[in-house]
Amino acid sequence: MIISHLYTFRPMFFISHALRWRIELEPWASEHQSLEDEAGRFLRYITTPQVSCGSLANGKADEGEGSLGAWAVCLNQSYSLWHKVHSKHCRIYSLGLGMEERALEGFLAQAGCEVHCFDPSLKQPHRQQQPRLWLHRLSVDWRDPPPAARAQRHQHASTKKLAAVLNDFGHREVDVLKADMESAEWKILENLVLEGVLDQVGQLLLEVHLHWAGFEVGGHDPAVVRYWFSLLQELHRASFRLFRCHSDPAKPHVFLHKNVLNASSTYTLGFVNTQWKP
């Protein structure tokens, strides 16, 4: 049974910042504007934690860091999530495409958090999987659907930007935003920056795919990596600090269709908003 008040959609229009048209590109890593220089700067950034987290968790924390897998939240007492979990007033959004592994979501639901998983491959529009975990047939995108698609009444998954989803659900804040978007993550992250949504997020767990530029990301290879790095700097300016980087050794070492600095094709990054208050 679905708890009805969670799906009484009501407009709130609470975006606190003026919308922006573009992100600020960082200066080139070097005057050579080479792929190696851009990749080196980018890879150093994503593999060097900026804050320490002594309490990582996804339900297997007692088995040690090596068993955590790709996805884990930071439950240090100095960050808001620890307090929210203990008061059972936490909210989690999990964005995915054909998601199969939801260990972190299940752990946080059992801990008392309200967990919403968005997956366009679901057959039902909404389904309650366990007492505090709901599944929604919805794809989170970086753009609004075209008018013709909005006008159609069909049974396919609807597509919305995250700001619109928050607005529809009546949610002002998300304590954890987990996103595994299969190469759409760069444009979705750009949209979160441009629409000022980041200050409504406590922790951001993001899988990044580096084997190609990503959906609707253009330019020659050095410019692509500069764009990726610039998005991470936008996160930094929004007070997000990297607390964890995970790479699967089984993944191929492909970086923009090449072997560059032995980089993996996929990394899972954990950021905490250091201005997020309990």
Task: Answer whether residue 107 is part of any domain.
Answer: yes
**151 alpha carbon, distance to own chain's centre:** 29
pLDDT the model gives residue 147? 60
Task: Establish if 5 belongs to a structural domain.
Answer: no
The CATH number of residue 179's host domain is 3.40.50
Q: Over the chain, what is the mean pLDDT? A: 87
At residue 66, the pLDDT reads: 58
The verdict on residue 17 lying in a domain is: no
- Tokens 């759409």: give the residue: 184
Determine, yes or no, domain membership for 12: no
Reference 244, options 41, 26, 58; nearest CA is 58
Phi, psi angle pair for 160, to nearest 5°? -145, 155
What the block records as the tokens of 66 is 């090596």
Task: With respect to residue 7, please indicate whether it lies within any of the assigned structural domains.
Answer: no
Distance, CA of 177 to CA of 56 (rounded, Å): 16
Range of the domain at 203: 26-146+156-273
Residue 1 has pLDDT above 50, yes or no: no
Rg (CA), the chain: 19
Residue 86 lies in a domain: yes
Range list of H helices, 94-184: 103-110, 147-151, 162-169
Considering only residues 240 and 19, tell me which one the structure prediction assigns the higher pLDDT.
240
Is residue 15 included in any domain, yes or no?
no
Q: Model-level pTM?
A: 0.88
pLDDT by residue (tens digit) across 60-94?
Answer: 655 455 567 899 999 999 999 999 999 999 999 99
Count of domains observed in the chain:
1
94 within domain boundaries:
yes
